[in-house]
């Protein structure tokens, strides 16, 4: 297993597989971590924040056009996946398609895009390399 697969591809594949498995579990099998409604939304946001960052890492490593183009693809893929994930839950027992969950997913995508862009700009941008 080469280094790029272990550090870039595998984390993304594992994360997406975990998201699919978690989304496919019937509602009765999910642990009740905290009874507060907001924690569910925090989990949704965190899940999509990580997905966006991992996608961005993948696209940057693959030298996918420009960083801005890679970020746009991350956002579009994230939104499409969030919508499909919510629709998918219509068919899972004791789960529901929720606009609030989708909005939390969108917040995570936005935060992930901001985090990925800032990290890239501060660590890998040509302007930073010119200063070094």
Number of domains in the chain: 1
Q: Please state the φ and ψ torsions of residue 32, each to the nearest 5 degrees.
A: -90, 90
Looking at residue 30, what is its pLDDT?
57
Structural domain contains residue 62: yes
pLDDT at position 33:
54
CB 41 within 8 A of CB 100: yes
Could you say which DSSP state residue 35 is in?
Answer: S
What local confidence, expressed as pLDDT, does residue 6 receive? 85
pLDDT at 61: 87
**What are the 10-residue block averages of pLDDT along the chain, 132 residues in total?**
82 96 80 62 95 95 86 97 96 90 97 96 68 50
Q: Which domain, by its residues, includes 51?
A: 46-132
Q: What per-residue confidence (pLDDT) applies to 57?
A: 93
**11 found inside a domain:** no
The three-point CA angle 100-106-108 to 5° equals 105
Do 109 and 49 form a contact (C-beta atoms < 8 A)? yes
């Amino acid at each position: 297993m080469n280094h790029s697969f272990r550090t870039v591809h595998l984390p993304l594949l594992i994360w997406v597989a975990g998201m699919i498995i978690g989304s496919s579990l019937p509602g009765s099998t999910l642990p009740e971590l905290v009874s507060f409604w907001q924690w569910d939304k925090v989990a949704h946001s965190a899940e999509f924040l990580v997905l966006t960052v991992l996608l961005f890492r993948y696209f940057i490593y693959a030298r996918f056009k420009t960083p801005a183009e890679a970020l746009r693809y991350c956002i579009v893929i994230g939104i499409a996946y969030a919508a499909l994930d919510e629709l998918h839950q219509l068919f899972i027992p004791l789960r529901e398609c929720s606009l609030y969950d989708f909005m939390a997913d969108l917040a995570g995508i936005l935060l992930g895009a901001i985090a990925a862009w800032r990290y890239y700009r501060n660590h890998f941008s040509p302007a930073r390399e010119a200063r070094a």
